[in-house]
Structure 1
Amino acid sequence: MNTVAIIPARGGSKGIPRKNMRFVAGESLVGRAVNTARTAESVDGVFVSTDDSEIATESRAHGAEVIERPRELSGDEASSESVLLHGLRHLRDEESCVPDELAFVQCTSPLLLPEDIDGAVGKLRKNGADVVFSAAPFHGFLWRFSGETLKGINHDASRRMRRQDRETQYVETGAVYVIQTDGFIEHEHRFFGEVIPYEVPPEHSIDIDRPIDLDIAEKLLRKRKRNSQLEQLPDRPAALVLDFDGVFTDNKVHVQQGGREMVVCHRGDGWGLARLKEKGLPVWVLSTEKNQVVQARCEKLDLPCVHGTEDKEAILRGWLNEEEIDAQDIVFLGNDVNDVHCLRLAGCGAVVEDAHPDVFSAANLVLSTSGGEGAVREITDLIQEKLSIS
């Protein structure tokens, strides 16, 4: 292995109890760190060093291998360097692995991206450096007391230079350090030899140290996810096409004693669809289901509908030709294998959160809502937002 990531994650924490197991945006801090490191193309193996059984279980669940940390390295006094050196000895003795490079990744930086790790590794290799660490540009004015007198640290208080005229300084984010392993073992310190920063945006630099940091990270991660979803939509959506069962419904059917079938839909979907129709966006329902409940619900919502068809793609292509709409400008929302061709045809093929596993690979966008629980409302809100910024 050329590059191994080690993620220290002890169980104890004074500021935020059980910090590494706290959740932000639906994922634990340790689980998010593991996923980020595993997704980085430059990382060949991911190991979590921990003294805690729950963290060990969570780490393995996300695909990391676990290094059991001894008690003497589990307290507040243990340095990160001592934990990393222990981890490297474990890899050498137990895994017969001596990596060329060590990526030290911290759980407390949930805004870290796989691209940040890859960027730091790439910069280390390109520049032949010994250490590369993630850093955010800083242009603030720092002060400190010298005796009883307050003095400027990084500026002359009598000459306030404009931001653009000041030399850029860097704040260490603590998110990732990429280190030449041989030099680290020799010096037993993460900063040795040639040290250079890998610049990341300030919004990637939040470090979870106080309870309020969890709230800030939650909002930033939710915003990042929303922006990522919006990027998957066509630049100017021209139409929305929807499957019915498993999209409008939870894919279940209630059968009465006489054989009559009933389904449950989400009322919020209707409001979202109405808002799109007010903007003049065509919305169409395309379903293989033959039950008249599809037609009844679509009539209630005043939506054009074709149901009971076995060839959705052919129907969709015909409709697009008739309306002179480019397939790359439409959004199709489905949930099962009979939607695959339409998902691939659409400019944005979207699926509900609980879609069949076989259709995820055909989708550009996976919603955070399940069918029948507001998935249609989620996609209409996304399109509404996209239209407002297009």
Structure 2
Amino acid sequence: MVAIIPARGGSKGVPRKNLRRVGGMPLVERAVRSALAVPDIDLVVVSTDDDEIAAVSRAAGARVVRRPAALSGDTASSESAILHALEDLEAAGERVDVVAFLQATSPFIPTDALAAAVREVGDGRADSVFAAHETYGFLWGRSGTSSDAAVALNHDAAHRPRRQDREPHYLETGAFYVFRAEGFRAAEHRFFGRIRIAEVPEWTAIEIDDEQQLRIARALAALHETPERIPVKAVVTDFDGVHTDDTASVDADGVERVRVSREDGMGVSLLRRAGIPMLILSTEVNPVVRARAEKLRVPVMHGIDDKESALRGWAADAGIPLAEIAYLGNDVNDLPALRIVGWPIAVANAHPLVLAAARVVLRRRGGHGAVRELIERVLPG
């Protein structure tokens, strides 16, 4: 049983769409993780023509099939990419019985419904199963004539029964399709034989084709995907706006003072006792940053313009995978670091771009216990 995720590099509506982040994670990685969460799926494959998508997919745990240019243009069908991937797998000695076709542009793939669909096809109860949600909506079309009149499609406009008196329709979401490989090769289409519906929650039905839908998806992720536990092996934070409230006072001698939270200090102490490494990574060159780091007994790198390179170097030296690091930031200079870690975290009052990039948005503001909140969610129990 193989999951195949077509993810080409080109996209006009949303440039580099498959790498755009929802819930702090690239769309293609979200699809890979959804497939990996299904026990009956033996192999997850990403079909792509793009080096960066390939790298992200491999890091997430997928095998990559490089798609030829002829199958990577705007007019190439998903079916052609799947057929090519099947040929590539079988040339490598894999025998594929069932295919789960996932679309990375659907960021919310319910793994329980996907798992049930895989079992249904695997057990021979269906040949093709697709994700859809129940709807009682009245659908209309246009006549296509010179009058361009509205035409009722799924109902009689003169007789509109109550919702409870009507049978529902099902709207295809595009999130996933599961089918027998042999039947797909014969039909060259995802719908054939005994077709069944995998019902999914309506809120998961969004497909990203423009920037507005991307913004909606990020809002939905913040609403539905807020884990209490943040399982990481290291915590890295910015300083100003994270340990402080992003304000400073300057006395007559030019000495700068900032305000920090004592409970953050206690949280750092608990993290240190648990043996979890922590680093303060700051753009500012200010004695107050080093003084606070020394007080907390935490390593500090300050005066850092390139936070991404500094973080990569520190993680490599410490032997900690970037995927297992939480980075807590608040402003746009944190974005490069946020984009490379597995757990990008934002304080409650962060810049809108940081909020959009975050996998988790904390309840507390910078300088008001945000560091303590993150640490409490990192520590077990």
TM-score by length of 1: 0.61
> Residue 76 of structure 1 aligns to a residue in which SS?
coil
Relative to structure 1, the CA distance from residue 267 to residue 225 in structure 2 (aligned partners, 3 Å threshold; closer, same or farther) is farther
Relative to structure 1, the CA distance from residue 247 to residue 158 in structure 2 (aligned partners, 3 Å threshold; closer, same or farther) is same
Matches within 5 A, 1:173-192: 173-192=173-192
Q: CA deviation at 1:57?
A: 1.1
1:123 maps to 120
Note the residue ranges of structure 1 that are not aligned, 5 or more in a row: 233-245, 251-264, 274-282, 290-351, 355-365, 382-390
* Counterpart-to-counterpart distance in 1, 2:179 and 2:361: 37
1:93 maps to 91
Q: CA deviation at 1:17?
A: 1.0
**Aligned residue identity for 1:151:** V
Q: CA deviation at 1:123?
A: 2.8
Q: CA deviation at 1:380?
A: 8.4
Relative to structure 1, the CA distance from residue 287 to residue 116 in structure 2 (aligned partners, 3 Å threshold; closer, same or farther) is closer
Decide whether the 8 Å contact of 2:14 with 2:209 is kept in 1.
yes
> Residue 10 of structure 2 aligns to a residue in which SS?
coil
> Residue 41 of structure 1 aligns to a residue in which SS?
coil
Task: After superposition, give the CA deviation of every residue in 1:248-274 in whole Å (9 maximum; x if it has no partner).
Answer: 999xxxxxxxxxxxxxx9845759x9x
> Residue 156 of structure 1 aligns to a residue in which SS?
coil
Decide whether the 8 Å contact of 2:8 with 2:18 is kept in 1.
yes
User: Which of residues 36, 61, 64 in structure 1 aligns to 2:62?
Assistant: 64
Decide whether the 8 Å contact of 1:9 with 1:49 is kept in 2.
yes
* Counterpart-to-counterpart distance in 2, 1:61 and 1:374: 30
Relative to structure 1, the CA distance from residue 67 to residue 137 in structure 2 (aligned partners, 3 Å threshold; closer, same or farther) is same
Please say if 1:163 is aligned against 2:163: yes
* Counterpart-to-counterpart distance in 2, 1:169 and 1:269: 57
Q: CA deviation at 1:375?
A: 3.5
1:103 maps to 100
Please say if 1:153 is aligned against 2:140: no
Decide whether the 8 Å contact of 1:247 with 1:376 is kept in 2.
no
Note the residue ranges of structure 2 that are not aligned, 5 or more in a row: 230-234, 240-257, 274-324, 328-358
Relative to structure 1, the CA distance from residue 215 to residue 248 in structure 2 (aligned partners, 3 Å threshold; closer, same or farther) is closer
Decide whether the 8 Å contact of 1:8 with 1:83 is kept in 2.
yes
* Counterpart-to-counterpart distance in 2, 1:177 and 1:288: 47
Matches within 5 A, 1:273-292: none
Give the aligned length.
267
Percent of paired sites with the same residue: 44
**Aligned residue identity for 2:25:** E
**Aligned residue identity for 1:158:** A
Aligned-residue Cα RMSD (Å) equals 3.6
Relative to structure 1, the CA distance from residue 367 to residue 269 in structure 2 (aligned partners, 3 Å threshold; closer, same or farther) is farther
Relative to structure 1, the CA distance from residue 266 to residue 204 in structure 2 (aligned partners, 3 Å threshold; closer, same or farther) is farther
> Residue 117 of structure 2 aligns to a residue in which SS?
helix
* Counterpart-to-counterpart distance in 2, 1:376 and 1:38: 32
* Counterpart-to-counterpart distance in 2, 1:268 and 1:214: 35
2:321 maps to none
2:198 maps to 198
User: Which of residues 372, 377, 380 in structure 2 aligns to 1:376?
Assistant: 372
* Counterpart-to-counterpart distance in 1, 2:272 and 2:142: 74
Q: CA deviation at 1:353?
A: 4.3
2:285 maps to none
> Residue 116 of structure 1 aligns to a residue in which SS?
helix
**Aligned residue identity for 1:88:** L
Decide whether the 8 Å contact of 1:124 with 1:132 is kept in 2.
yes
Higher relative contact order (CA 8 A, sep 6+): 2
Relative to structure 1, the CA distance from residue 122 to residue 288 in structure 2 (aligned partners, 3 Å threshold; closer, same or farther) is closer
* Counterpart-to-counterpart distance in 2, 1:86 and 1:286: 52
Please say if 1:137 is aligned against 2:134: yes
* Counterpart-to-counterpart distance in 2, 1:248 and 1:27: 19
Task: After superposition, give the CA deviation of every residue in 1:68-108 in whole Å (9 maximum; x if it has no partner).
Answer: 101110111111111100100000002x1121100001100
Decide whether the 8 Å contact of 1:134 with 1:197 is kept in 2.
yes
TM-score by length of 2: 0.62
**Aligned residue identity for 2:142:** F
* Counterpart-to-counterpart distance in 1, 2:176 and 2:150: 34
Task: After superposition, give the CA deviation of every residue in 1:303-325 in whole Å (9 maximum; x if it has no partner).
Answer: xxxxxxxxxxxxxxxxxxxxxxx
Q: CA deviation at 1:113?
A: 2.9
2:322 maps to none
* Counterpart-to-counterpart distance in 2, 1:374 and 1:88: 48
Decide whether the 8 Å contact of 2:106 with 2:207 is kept in 1.
yes
2:349 maps to none
> Residue 207 of structure 1 aligns to a residue in which SS?
coil
Please say if 1:15 is aligned against 2:1: no
Task: After superposition, give the CA deviation of every residue in 1:231-290 in whole Å (9 maximum; x if it has no partner).
Answer: x7xxxxxxxxxxxxx89999xxxxxxxxxxxxxx9845759x9xxxxxxxxx9x97997x
Task: After superposition, give the CA deviation of every residue in 1:10-41 in whole Å (9 maximum; x if it has no partner).
Answer: 01111111111111111101111111111221
* Counterpart-to-counterpart distance in 2, 1:367 and 1:29: 16
> Residue 35 of structure 1 aligns to a residue in which SS?
helix
Relative to structure 1, the CA distance from residue 76 to residue 379 in structure 2 (aligned partners, 3 Å threshold; closer, same or farther) is same
Q: CA deviation at 1:172?
A: 0.7
Decide whether the 8 Å contact of 1:248 with 1:376 is kept in 2.
no
